Amino acid sequence: MMIDFAIHGKAAPRRDRNGFTLVELLVVMVIFLILVAIALPIVKGLISDQKATRTAQNIEAFMNAARSRAIAEGRTVGVRFERLSASNYARSTCLRLRQLVGIPAYTGDAADAVAALAGTPVNTAEFDTSDSPLLYLSSQILNDTVTPSNDHLAPIQIGDLLELPGGRSVPITGIGAVSGTTVTISFNLAENVPVDTSTVNRFPLSAISSASGGNVKYRIHRSPMPSSSTVMSLPQGMAIDLNYSGIGIKGSQFAPAFSGGIRAVDILFNASGAVTQVIYDTANTRIYPTGLIYFCVGEIDGVANLNGASAAARDNLFSQDRALTTNLMNPDSLWVVVNPASGRVTTVPMANPGTIPADPTDPTTVAFADALGPARYFATLSDTVAE
């Protein structure tokens, strides 16, 4: 340098660094990782909340589509909530919805098929099995005591509507055993004998004339059948938790029984868009709902297992620990609520449940209902639910 300075009269130029040192890079990476560690739980929570909201909105749209179709076509259309399987937690899990498509009314296979009315007041109708083979098949299935769990497979069900001359339709309350070449069904024109304890009489008590052997044309409006094309699958990780789903502010009718068979939950819309029937068990019990219908939307990991004869064999429905945080205790869970009077479907946030019952594994107790009611509190305040 001294020689260069002596020859040229100036010092050698300095070289500036254009990059970072290893220490500086490590410091930047540490700061970045700290920020990511802080932000990741927040972002994950936001994404999870949006996923639950989108799932509930998709369910709402799917049910509204079925309701709109019922209004447009002028016949019953429904939505089926299918259970994942018949064992462990899957009994309470719904991952797929299927539209139930209305089918033409049954008027018999013969052009001159008729029903012979009888009773004082009129309460039975007798059908010839050769003219009405579907009634014969239904009678054989419904009166089979060996496999009663197959009752829901009958093509004509108790609760289907029998239309008599003049357009009057009444629910079928019973289908008798085959006697010779005839099958007798029972009904009640005043609807004073409910199909189920939750039935609401739509017509008042009144005197009804008697009938003896009067032959009339008939139409049987059957329940809609599952569609093979109109199906909705929930996003991965999301589920409808049937443990907390049911009718009324405290109802949990859709929770699986500890013993016996289970089946899907059917919501049926009529031609005016209202919910006419809810079907949820293998006995094919029909309910004319008088309260709001609730479906709990949450995570599949939050579905409790109720498949056990004792409390020790079942999960805690109010669990909130690392092993299991149930959907009722998860603030990100939502309610999809159906107003049966109008058929309107809406999404409502979940509130905190009430006092935890002594047996937190049994959804059939009064204590469980009292705890479930406060969790549906926001739904009772929602303006959209009441519409």
Q: Would you state the pLDDT for residue 192?
A: 42
Q: Would you state the pLDDT for residue 50?
A: 79
Highest mean pLDDT among 8-22, 43-57, 272-286, 345-359: 345-359
Q: Would you state the pLDDT for residue 260?
A: 59
Q: Would you state the pLDDT for residue 382?
A: 66
| Mean of pLDDT values over 216-220 | 90
Q: Would you state the pLDDT for residue 300?
A: 94
Q: Would you state the pLDDT for residue 207?
A: 47
Q: Which residue has the tokens 């009314």?
A: 105
Q: Would you state the pLDDT for residue 203?
A: 46
Concatenated DSSP letters of 196-255: STT---SS-------EEEEEE--EEEPPPEEEEEEEEEPPTTEEEEEEEEEESTT--TTS
pLDDT band at 386 (very low <50, low <70, confident <90, very high): low
Which residues are CB-neighbours of 121 under 8 A, at least 6 positions away?
A: 189, 190, 207, 208, 209, 210
Other Cβ atoms closer than 10 A to 272 = 12
Q: Would you state the pLDDT for residue 16?
A: 60
CA gap 365, 354 in Å, rounded: 14
The answer on pLDDT for 10 being more than 50 is yes
The answer on pLDDT for 354 being more than 60 is yes
Specify the pTM: 0.75
| Mean of pLDDT values over 17-29 | 76
Give phi and psi for 225, each to the nearest 5.
-105, 155
Share of residues in the chain with pLDDT > 70 (%): 83
Q: Which residue has the tokens 């004339």?
A: 209
CA gap 341, 277 in Å, rounded: 11
pLDDT band at 199 (very low <50, low <70, confident <90, very high): very low
CA gap 339, 326 in Å, rounded: 26
pLDDT band at 211 (very low <50, low <70, confident <90, very high): low
The distance between the two most distant Cα atoms of the chain, rounded to a whole number of Å, is: 137
Sequence spans of domains, the chain: 53-102+224-386, 115-221
Concatenated DSSP letters of 117-129: EEETTT-EEEEET
Q: What is the pLDDT of residues 250-278, one digit of tens each?
A: 999 999 876 556 789 999 998 899 998 89
Query: Are 90 and 83 within 8 A, CB to CB?
Result: yes
| Mean of pLDDT values over 84-101 | 91
Higher pLDDT, 370 or 20: 370
Task: Name the amino acid, one letter, at 340.
Answer: P
Share of residues in the chain with pLDDT > 90 (%): 39
Q: Residues in the chain, how many?
A: 387
| Cis bond before residue 235 (omega within 30° of 0) | no
Q: Would you state the pLDDT for residue 274?
A: 93
Q: What is the pLDDT of residues 307-331, one digit of tens each?
A: 877 888 889 999 988 889 999 999 8
CA gap 1, 17 in Å, rounded: 21
Q: What is the DSSP letter of 179?
A: B
CA gap 27, 43 in Å, rounded: 24
CATH class of the 53-102+224-386 domain in this structure: alpha beta
| Mean of pLDDT values over 176-195 | 77
The burial of 20, by beta-carbon neighbours within 10 Å (0-12 exposed, 13-18 middle, 19 or more buried), is given as: exposed
When mean pLDDT is compared across 13-22, 49-58, 147-156, 190-199, the lowest value belongs to: 190-199
Q: Would you state the pLDDT for residue 45?
A: 61
Q: Would you state the pLDDT for residue 194?
A: 41
Q: What is the pLDDT of residues 142-178, one digit of tens each?
A: 988 777 667 778 899 888 888 888 878 888 889 999 9
Mean of per-residue pLDDT scores for the chain = 83
Q: Would you state the pLDDT for residue 387?
A: 56
CA dihedral 231, 236, 241, 245 (to 10 degrees): -40
CA gap 22, 113 in Å, rounded: 93
Q: Would you state the pLDDT for residue 232?
A: 95
Q: Would you state the pLDDT for residue 40?
A: 74
- How distant, in Å, are the alpha carbons of 19, 117, 187, 229 from that of 174? 87, 15, 7, 33
Query: Are 185 and 124 within 8 A, CB to CB?
Result: yes
Q: Which residue has the tokens 């069900």?
A: 157
Q: Which of 283, 340, 288 is nearest to 157 (CA)?
A: 283
CA gap 60, 109 in Å, rounded: 39
The burial of 352, by beta-carbon neighbours within 10 Å (0-12 exposed, 13-18 middle, 19 or more buried), is given as: exposed
Which residues are CB-neighbours of 115 under 8 A, at least 6 positions away?
A: 125, 126, 127, 215, 216, 217, 218
The answer on pLDDT for 197 being more than 50 is no
Q: Would you state the pLDDT for residue 139?
A: 93
The answer on pLDDT for 205 being more than 50 is no
| Mean of pLDDT values over 173-186 | 92
pLDDT band at 36 (very low <50, low <70, confident <90, very high): confident
